[in-house]
Amino acid sequence: MTVTTNTTIQDVLRKTRAKRPMADIALLKKAYEFAEAAHEGQKRKTGENYMCHCLATAAQLADWGMDDETIMAGLLHDTVEDTDVTIETITKEFGPTVAQLVEGVSKLTKVKYRGIDRYVESLRRMCLAMAKDARVIIIKCADRIHNLRTLDALPPEKQKRIAMESIEIYAAIANRLGMGEIRGQLEDLSFPYILPEEYVWLTKKIEKPYEAKKAYLKNIIAKVKRILKENDIKYVSVHGRGKHLYSLYKKLLQHNRDLSKIYDLIALRIIVKDVADCYTALGLVHEYWTPLKGRIKDYIAQQKPNGYQSLHTTVFCDQGEIVEFQIRTQKMHIENEFGVAAHWQFKANNKKKRGKKKELMPWMKQIEKIQKEAVNEKQFLESMKGDVFKNRIFVFTPQGDVIELPEGATAVDFAYQIHTDLGNHCSGAKVNDKIQNIKTVLKSGDVVEIFSDKKRKGPNPDWLDFVVTNTARSQIKKMTQKPTLTADQ
């Protein structure tokens, strides 16, 4: 059943005022009126007026607390692509920044998931857009979420292509930009179109356990609130949050589809005022309930490379039920949900921070490095999918520095990530204070120390059989493969 939308400009303005009282409402109205005139007479496949889509996109951006320029670009994002309006006109009416955002979104509209070659080109365009202004990706995510909500209006073949594109490209990038909630929406809306049978199976499988868990947590939430109040901890909220369906599906596959192994079907979140209260709340949870060994994670002291911060603990709760707790401040919570989008929200509400360009994340710099080093399209694709978009693990040096690696990475991959010379002379590894083989596959939270032998001539070519990162593979090949001789040599 196609989901129709009845968003109005008043809805957009109301959502904008709720997040940003100082927003320039007159300018937003001007952008709406301009877009409405440009799209006059145009219809979508759903039968709705085309402006319904532009308004839905803008409303989503307003919900995320985006700045005026981004919301205006959301209203105008299809004018250049689908009407006679030019970028020059957008520049004249709304300024160069809005025009640049609209132009960036228009270019990404041509990104299609149609096999390996087109996928490579899609990734290149995404990288270029992100390097210029991350807001282009945020607008495109809002645009894509509404398109997915109305996907039933399209033929089945096109539905699957758009859904696959959304997961393979947009959700992957949303994840790397720290936009957890946005990634979850993109994946869940795509799920029924790429794996319809699995989607039906999962929704039926979790229906009763989910309702039972929700009812159980109602009493635990009341108890947690009382405990915090008794200990003078001022909380913003204590609530349960269901795991996104597609994320749950992928996790179930890792546990042989055994739902009893999933402890965060509904996680209990405690949102407090400051960092000190996070640790106090964690201590109180452990005072009342016994934590599971190895399930305490401090992503506040050592945040994930995409910016995620929170304390996680899994405990044996009342009646022996296993419950995961996530404890964070309100600022962390917003940033965890909306990532880069949250940074623009904070900027929009803080005049001192406006206009300051946020430095590229380390992984975005990594993309630039991969583009320069890739010798062909295939290598670029493999590097991107392996080094950038694969599930990530977070490993520590003995000094406490966080090293991000793709899932399946070994001690040798870790060594090369630290320094090329360390990788070339790697002779052994200590993982969590135990001597391990250098081909040992690492896990998140491992503390790794690499032993280096300067007498070693270089890497062993056999390492290519188990390393997974582009950095390690390229360096090993460079050091071990002999140059090919030509006939006249």
What pLDDT, in 10s, does the model give residues 198-209?
999 999 999 999
Residue pair 68/28 in contact (Cβ under 8 Å)? The answer is yes
The active-site residue out of 11, 36, 63, 81 is 81
Name which CATH class applies to 390-480. alpha beta
198 catalytic? Reply is no
Residue scoring higher pLDDT (425 or 389) = 425
- Nearest Cα to 76, choosing from 223, 93, 64? 93
Pinpoint the residues of the chain covered by CATH 3.30.460.10: 197-335
**With bands split at pLDDT 50, 70 and 90, how would you rate the model's confidence at 370?**
low
- Fold (CATH) for 197-335: Beta Polymerase; domain 2 (3.30.460)
Pinpoint the residues of the chain covered by CATH 1.10.3210.10: 9-194
81 catalytic? Reply is yes
- Tell me the whole-structure pTM to 2 decimals: 0.75
Pinpoint the residues of the chain covered by CATH 3.10.20.30: 390-480
329-348 pLDDT tens trace: 999 998 888 877 776 655 65
Which of 208-212, 396-400, 419-423 is predicted least confidently?
396-400
Give residues with Cβ within 8 angstroms of 158, minimum separation 6.
none
CA 171, 174, 178, 184 dihedral sign is negative
Distances (CA, A) of 34 to 40, 72, 75, 94, 204: 10, 10, 9, 10, 46
In CATH, 9-194 is 1.10.132.20: no
Which of 10-14, 305-309, 468-472 is predicted least confidently?
305-309
**Predicted pLDDT of residue 375:** 60
The active-site residue out of 11, 82, 121, 298 is 82
